[in-house]
Amino acid sequence: MIVIDPIFRIIDIALQMYVYVVIAAAILSWLVAFNVVNTRNQVVYQIGNALYRLTEPALRPIRRILPNLGGIDISPVVLLLLIYFVQMVLRNIYIELVT
């Protein structure tokens, strides 16, 4: 029981941090699409590249499954819903193990 609590907390924190990364990647993609930020700027390019590399492995399978909606990419929303689902399942498992 002593080991279970930290493991579940670390997994929950990691998932929550990934939620922030997905949100940041989506916001940056909107800013680039509407020409608010320029990817020729080295700092913006590096941040965008890092966010792309962090999120693309999770978003690619979702994009293959989802139908083409034109210019709208809802894969980050689907990924966020999946992450929240996993967090809820893990919390329920944790409650069952503790009680």
Domain residues for the domain of 33 are 4-98
Q: Compute CA distances 95 → 39, 61, 62, whole Å.
A: 45, 31, 30
| pLDDT tens, residue order, the chain (99 aa) | 678 889 999 999 999 999 999 999 999 999 999 999 999 999 999 999 999 999 999 999 999 999 988 888 999 999 999 999 999 999 999 999 887
The domain total for the chain is 1
* Exposure on the CB side of residue 27, measured as CA atoms within 13 A: 8
Q: How far apart are CA 18 and CA 69, in angstroms?
A: 25
- The pTM score is 0.91
Q: How far apart are CA 54 and CA 62, in angstroms?
A: 15
Q: Compute CA distances 91 → 3, 21, 57, 63, whole Å.
A: 15, 21, 25, 28
